[in-house]
């Protein structure tokens, strides 16, 4: 029986006493340094020196099945160590060795270890059950049937006591439909559906009241009793939580102050003259020790009473005491023994965990459509607004005739209005990636999907739901009301031009959305870009007489290409007559095109504008994809 079959049998087994075989994580001499240099990292000028800060100092330890707590004051390095164990830190800044069951991390890492980050990262429009099913569908092995996945999710819901809220939507921060504790348990469930041998949690009690926090830790304790290796960071637990710990790693200022059984920590501190009062909370006492609050005759100088430096010195001293202790020797021996006991099972899963791209696209697209349906305000407004604007432009230019004066002016004005509207109305695409930025980074790092499948799914759903139908409606209403030339070919070209302009402007917004973190900045950048491009349509300035250092902009102006298409389409084969005698047509539409220096003589002169719009669109699609790749690498 292979690894995946074992996993299925384990998860579908209803026997609550059934134990799994948890994994052991060992790490040796972990050092992690961050650099202050960013964009100027290659400069060696005064004021641009590279200042490095060491976050973790030579941390070694081992976490076995059970409750393993990482305790320490704020900014002590707890979350950094968890990120390193979860393989989510830049390897260039990291030294040391990390092993899973005696082997280096391999490709199937995400299938063996679950990571619950501090913030509750969930799809807010989905129910608890739907969020768990999304994780199960994308992350469980392919040979587990859909029915079995449903049973696995149901079992996890039961284990985490989520039955009452299983079919409730998560809701937003301002409109919550499940409680904070239920959100946290749902986050745990997103990882638990994998039946991970190791479960990492960053501050699982953060933001919760004491009763809810206690319930969360008790839930984790029950999981550990079934064989899971539970590793979590925690800041200031109360005693009822502290007594549930099996193993403790105490970090202060990036130094390991203690690592071992929770039962041995108070005797260890007593041996160096630090005794916990009978009625003191041991966790509070330990944190006071790390911060130098508890009095002891440390053999160090109080450096000018500078608190941070004093705390660092205290932690260095406590670390030096610990590494000389018998407890530390025991930990080193356990690490050495664990490294020798590898059974080589890690490699067996690698080839089974990859999923076809179409499967990933199906489930990601399904979620996007479901989100859009349940949060339908944008989709409705994206349809209503184009209808209203189409009626408005239709009413403004309804009396457009074929006269030389009014006919030309109204047609050019209508085209300028239409193109401007199609570009600016699609600024709604700016929230596409900003809204899900954190969710994407977490899910991609957790192995839910490839960047490419997420990008294509989001792109397809956005274009189909928010670009295609509104473009069709706007083009149909505006074309009929403005009384453009009534031929099917010209209508279809106009329709295609509206859709191409819509998608092209959206592609610019996609790139901006993937590049900035806030809607305000995104609006400023996108609007500024569009205003500059708007000037180069040819209506506001003669683009052939622009100063040379700005002349190149006309070649990248989507406004220019979009207006050229519609202008060529409408003015070719158009006769323009005198206002007082419509039987006398002295000017042809081609003469207007000549005046505006728009090429029209061949069919290519029309379609090259479509090609240019397509080129701009794909250019920004590629840039957007590159930005998403950068985001994914930053989260690993």
Of the candidates 100, 52, 51, the residue with the CA atom closest to the CA atom of residue 339: 100
Could you tell me the pLDDT band of residue 635, with boundaries at 50, 70 and 90?
A: low
CB neighbourhood size of 182 (10 A): 22
pLDDT above 70 for 267: yes
Could you tell me the pLDDT band of residue 306, with boundaries at 50, 70 and 90?
A: low
pLDDT above 50 for 634: yes
Of the candidates 110, 122, 246, 118, the residue with the CA atom closest to the CA atom of residue 173: 122
Strands ordered across the beta sheet of 66-71: 113-116, 198-202, 229-234, 66-71, 247-252, 255-261
pLDDT above 80 for 444: yes
Q: What's residue 286's pLDDT?
A: 87
Q: What is the 3-state secondary structure (H, E, C) of 178-243?
A: CCHHHHHHHHHHHHHCCCCCEEEEECCCCCCCHHHHHHHHHHHHHHHHCCCEEEEEECCCCHHHHC
Q: What's residue 155's pLDDT?
A: 93
User: Which has more confidence, 547 or 253?
Assistant: 253
DSSP helix/strand/coil, 381: helix
Q: What's residue 591's pLDDT?
A: 86
Beta carbons of 559 and 419 less than 8 angstroms apart: yes
Q: What's residue 1's pLDDT?
A: 40
Candidate ranges 2-6, 46-50, 179-183, 508-512; pick with highest mean pLDDT: 508-512
| Bridge pairing between strands 587-588 and 66-71 | unpaired
Per residue in 475-533, pLDDT (tens digit) is: 999 999 998 888 999 999 999 999 999 999 999 999 999 999 899 999 999 999 999 88
Could you tell me the pLDDT band of residue 2, with boundaries at 50, 70 and 90?
A: very low
Q: What's residue 74's pLDDT?
A: 86
Q: In the predicted model, what is the mean pLDDT of residues 572-598?
A: 77
Q: In the predicted model, what is the mean pLDDT of residues 376-398?
A: 90
Q: What's residue 105's pLDDT?
A: 76
Per residue in 452-465, pLDDT (tens digit) is: 999 999 999 999 88
Q: What's residue 232's pLDDT?
A: 93
pLDDT above 80 for 211: yes
The rounded distance, in Å, linking the Cα atoms of 315 and 298 is 10
Q: What's residue 452's pLDDT?
A: 94
Of the candidates 34, 41, 84, the residue with the CA atom closest to the CA atom of residue 59: 84
Q: What's residue 111's pLDDT?
A: 72
Q: What's residue 483's pLDDT?
A: 82
- Domains, the chain, ordered by start: 3-36+51-351 (3.40.50.300), 357-635 (no CATH)
Per residue in 397-424, pLDDT (tens digit) is: 887 777 777 788 888 899 999 999 999 9
Q: What's residue 109's pLDDT?
A: 63
The rounded distance, in Å, linking the Cα atoms of 250 and 72 is 6
Q: In the predicted model, what is the mean pLDDT of residues 566-588?
A: 77
Within 8 A by CB and 6+ apart from 115, the residues are: 82, 86, 88, 191, 200, 201, 202, 445, 446
**Backbone torsions φ then ψ of 113, nearest 5 degrees:** -125, 130
Beta carbons of 356 and 114 less than 8 angstroms apart: no
Could you tell me the pLDDT band of residue 583, with boundaries at 50, 70 and 90?
A: low
Share of the chain above pLDDT 70, in %: 87
- In 3-state terms, the chain is what percent helix, strand and coil (to 5)? 60, 10, 30
Q: What is the pTM of this model?
A: 0.84
The rounded distance, in Å, linking the Cα atoms of 168 and 439 is 20
How does 358-380 read in b/e, with b if 16+ C-beta sit within 10 Å?
A: eebbebbbebbebbbeeeeeebe
Q: What's residue 107's pLDDT?
A: 62
The rounded distance, in Å, linking the Cα atoms of 440 and 461 is 16
| Bridge pairing between strands 25-35 and 66-71 | unpaired
**Backbone torsions φ then ψ of 310, nearest 5 degrees:** -65, -45
* Averaged confidence pLDDT in the chain: 84
**Backbone torsions φ then ψ of 540, nearest 5 degrees:** -95, -20
pLDDT above 60 for 40: no
Beta carbons of 244 and 268 less than 8 angstroms apart: no
The rounded distance, in Å, linking the Cα atoms of 297 and 317 is 11
Share of the chain above pLDDT 90, in %: 42
Q: In the predicted model, what is the mean pLDDT of residues 135-143?
A: 89
Least confident stretch, 499-503, 541-545, 602-606, 618-622: 541-545
């Amino acid at each position: 029986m292979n690894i995946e079959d074992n996993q299925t049998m384990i998860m579908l087994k209803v026997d609550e006493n059934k134990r799994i075989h948890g994994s052991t994580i060992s790490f040796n001499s972990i050092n992690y340094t961050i650099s202050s240099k960013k964009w100027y990292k290659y400069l060696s000028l005064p004021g641009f020196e590279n200042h490095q800060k060491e976050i973790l100092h030579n941390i070694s330890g081992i976490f076995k099945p059970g409750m393993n707590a990482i305790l320490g004051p704020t900014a002590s390095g707890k979350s950094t160590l968890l990120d390193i164990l979860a393989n989510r830190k830049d390897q260039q800044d990291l030294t040391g060795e990390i092993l899973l069951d005696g082997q280096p991390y391999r490709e199937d890492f995400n299938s063996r270890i679950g990571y619950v980050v501090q913030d509750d990262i969930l799809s807010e429009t989905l129910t608890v059950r739907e969020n768990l099913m999304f994780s199960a569908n994308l992350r469980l092995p392919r040979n587990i049937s859909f029915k079995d996945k449903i049973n696995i999710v149901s079992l996890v819901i039961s284990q985490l006591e989520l039955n009452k809220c299983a079919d409730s939507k998560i809701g937003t921060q301002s409109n919550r439909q499940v409680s904070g504790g239920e959100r946290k348990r749902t986050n745990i469930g997103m990882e638990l559906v994998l039946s991970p041998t190791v479960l990492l949690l960053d501050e699982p009690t953060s933001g919760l009241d004491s009763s809810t926090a206690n319930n969360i830790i008790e839930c984790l304790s029950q999981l550990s009793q079934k064989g899971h290796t539970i590793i979590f960071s925690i800041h200031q637990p109360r005693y009822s939580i502290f007594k549930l710990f099996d193993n403790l790693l105490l970090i202060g200022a990036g130094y390991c102050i203690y690592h071992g059984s929770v039962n041995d920590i108070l005797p260890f501190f007593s041996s160096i003259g630090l005794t916990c009062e009978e009625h003191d909370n041991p966790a509070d006492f330990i944190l006071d020790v790390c911060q130098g609050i508890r009095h002891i005759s440390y053999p160090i100088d109080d450096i000018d009473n500078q608190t941070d430096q004093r705390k660092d010195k205290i932690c260095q001293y406590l670390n030096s005491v610990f590494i000389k202790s018998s407890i530390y020797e025991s930990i080193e021996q356990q690490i050495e023994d664990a490294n020798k006991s590898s059974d080589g099972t890690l490699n067996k899963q690698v080839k089974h965990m990859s999923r076809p791209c179409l499967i990933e696209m199906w489930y990601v697209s399904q979620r996007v459509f479901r989100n859009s349906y349940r949060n339908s305000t944008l989709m409705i407004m994206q349809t209503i607004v184009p209808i209203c604007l189409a009626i408005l432009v239709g009413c403004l230019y309804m009396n457009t005739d074929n006269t030389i004066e009014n006919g030309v002016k109204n047609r050019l004005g209508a085209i300028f209005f239409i193109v401007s509207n199609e570009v600016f109305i699609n600024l709604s695409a700016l929230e596409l990636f900003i809204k899900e930025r954190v969710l994407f980074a977490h899910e991609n790092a957790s192995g839910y999907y490839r960047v490419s499948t997420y990008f294509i799914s989001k792109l397809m759903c956005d274009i189909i739901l928010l670009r295609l139908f509104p473009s069709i409606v706007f083009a149909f209403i505006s074309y009929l009301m403005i009384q453009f030339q009534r031929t099917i070919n010209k209508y279809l070209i106009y329709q295609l031009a509206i859709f191409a302009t819509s998608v092209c402007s959206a592609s610019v917004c996609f790139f901006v959305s993937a590049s900035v973190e806030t809607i305000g900045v995104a609006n400023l950048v996108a609007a500024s870009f569009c205003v500059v491009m708007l000037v180069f349509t040819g209506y506001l300035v003669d683009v052939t007489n622009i100063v040379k250092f700005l002349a190149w902009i006309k070649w990248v102006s989507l406004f220019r290409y979009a207006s050229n298409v519609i202008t060529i389409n409408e003015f070719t084969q158009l006769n323009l007559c005198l206002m007082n005698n419509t039987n006398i047509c002295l000017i042809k539409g081609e003469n207007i095109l000549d005046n505006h220096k728009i090429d029209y003589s061949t069919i290519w002169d029309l379609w090259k504008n479509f090609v240019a719009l397509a080129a701009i669109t794909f250019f920004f699609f590629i840039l957007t994809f590159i930005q998403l790749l950068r985001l994914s690498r930053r989260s690993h």
